[in-house]
Every structure is written in C-alpha cells, then in structure tokens.
C-alpha cells in the first residue's frame, strides 16, 4: 500500500487554467505538507497543516490555496496557472513527536507543466 | 534568510570508494538535520537524521554534525552504482519546517 499518494502524477495544462492536486496519506500522521521542486531541483516548502489547521504558510502567491478536509488529506488548488508554476509538487506527511524529530515521508510527486 | 548550502556537484567516485557529501547551514537555531536521497524522477527518501554533535552510523552511511562550525556531512562507505542519486541536506529549527539545500549529485562509477 502506498503510504503517501498523489493524483494526478502528471498534469499538462494551458496558462490561465485552474487545476487541483490531491494528496492522501494512510500512515496515520497528523501533519501534511506541500513542497515545490523547481527545475534546479530546489525543494521548498509551501504549506503545512497539522490536524487540518494551517501552521506553515510560506511566501506563496495567493493563487495557491491548500485545503485539508481531514488529517489524512491535503489538496492544493492553483488558480490562473502561470508558466513559472511548472514544477514538481510533492506532498509529504509526518507525525508530531515530543522529541521534535518529525521524519517527513514524501509522495511520488505531481509533475505540472504549464504551456 | 535561513539557508542550507550544498555543492551541486556532480561528485564522482569510483565504486568501492568513500563518498563524502557536505552541507553548511546559516541558522544557529537549527536543531536537527536530515539527509534525503532522491533518484532521478523519484521522490526524496530519508537516509538518516542527526541532532547531536559527532558521528552517527547506520550501515554504510555515517552522518557527522559540528554545530560550532554549522557543518553537516554524510559519508557513504563502499559506494555502489546504486548510490548514484541527488543527496539533499535539510535542517529543522524544531517544529515541522524543513529547509532544504539544493542537493549534491553523486555519481558512482563502476
């Protein structure tokens, strides 16, 4: 069973469109994340939710809107897609620990190409 | 700006050699450090984490941390062609936020 899954795996779309990416984890973790990895392989956090509550919101255009219906799901909606949004988007999850060492497990990624 | 810096490489080593991957960080508040391996077209997978000064060994992998020098390294002994990948260093200041470096490409030649 896939621990962290994302759909779709590939997404090719035109500029100006709106698209959504879905993420689900079956690890029982309480925290989920969205990362963006650009063409230079730089992995940068965008958002994080803990038990459906937004706890990390990096400097991301407000065209990006995360939504967590429950702690096992975190979706990412992107409005008015731009060329610069082309990247691989990774979902990840972790379990909060008292020791502060939360290992993050990554999904397979969604490869978004905006034409 | 809290940063994690890595040499992008590629670092080329012959099969069986020791590969040494290095990482520096700017935030002195960083408490724990993670090494992830990422194969081309795949997602990052955790190799090791370290939070105390010194060495931590796990099989062929050894992580080293020097907080005074703000330096983290990963040694891979008996390198294999299957170790060829991008290695990502990440720091955490506590809580959930990881700051990643840009990664070092490792190539192990058989």
Q: Is the pLDDT of residue B44 over 70?
A: yes
Residues of A with CB below 8 A from B95's CB? Answer: 55, 100
- Cβ <8 Å between A42 and B86: no
CA pair distance B3, B99, nearest whole angstrom: 7
Buried-exposed string A14-25: b where 16+ CB fall within 10 A, e elsewhere: eeeeebebbbbb
- The predicted-structure confidence for B3-42, as pLDDT tens digits, reads as follows 899 998 899 999 999 999 999 999 888 889 999 999 999 9
- Cβ <8 Å between A106 and B45: yes
Pairing of strands A110-114, A53-57: unpaired
Each residue's pLDDT, cut to its tens digit, for chain A (115 residues) gives 669 999 999 999 999 999 999 999 999 999 999 999 998 888 999 999 988 888 888 888 999 999 999 999 999 999 999 999 999 999 999 988 766 677 899 999 999 999 9
- Cβ <8 Å between A104 and B46: yes
B1 touches chain A (CB under 8 A): no
Question: Computed over its alpha carbons, how large is the radius of gyration of chain B?
Answer: 13
Phi then psi for residue A14, to 5 deg, are -90, 155
Three-class SS of chain A: CCCEEEECCEEEECCCCCEEEEEEECCCCCEEEEEEECCCCCEEEEEEEECCEEEEECCCCCCEEEEEEECCEEEEEECCCCHHHCEEEEEEEECCCCCCCCCCEECCCEEEEEC
**Helix residue ranges per DSSP H, chain B:** none
- The predicted-structure confidence for B70-108, as pLDDT tens digits, reads as follows 999 999 999 999 999 999 999 987 667 889 999 999 999
B98 touches chain A (CB under 8 A): yes
CA pair distance A99, B10, nearest whole angstrom: 35
Point out the residue among A40, A43, A100 whose CB comes nearest to the CB of B94. Answer: A100
Element (H, E) at B110: none
- Cβ <8 Å between B32 and A100: yes
B44 touches chain A (CB under 8 A): yes
Phi-psi region for residue A55, left (φ > 0), alpha (ψ -120 to 50) or beta? alpha
């Amino acid at each position: 069973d896939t621990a962290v899954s994302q759909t779709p795996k590939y997404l090719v779309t035109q500029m100006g469109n709106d698209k959504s990416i879905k993420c689900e984890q079956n690890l029982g973790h309480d925290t989920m994340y969205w990362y963006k990895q650009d063409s230079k392989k730089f992995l940068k956090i965008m958002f994080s939710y803990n038990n459906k509550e937004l706890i990390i919101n990096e400097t991301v255009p407000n065209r990006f809107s995360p939504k967590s219906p429950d702690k096992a799901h975190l979706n990412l909606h992107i409005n008015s897609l731009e060329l610069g949004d082309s990247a691989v988007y990774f979902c990840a999850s972790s379990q909060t620990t008292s020791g502060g060492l939360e290992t993050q497990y990554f999904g397979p990624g969604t490869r978004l190409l905006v034409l | 700006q809290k940063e994690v810096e890595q040499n992008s490489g590629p670092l080329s080593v012959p099969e069986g050699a020791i590969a040494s991957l290095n990482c520096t960080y700017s935030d002195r508040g960083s408490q724990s450090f993670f090494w992830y391996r990422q194969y081309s077209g795949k997602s990052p997978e955790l190799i090791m984490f370290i939070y105390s000064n010194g060495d931590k060994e796990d099989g062929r992998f050894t992580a080293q941390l020097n907080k005074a020098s703000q330096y983290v390294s990963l040694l891979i002994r008996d390198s294999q062609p299957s170790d060829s990948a991008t290695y990502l260093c990440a720091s955490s200041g506590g809580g959930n936020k990881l700051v990643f470096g840009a990664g070092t490409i490792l190539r192990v030649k058989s």
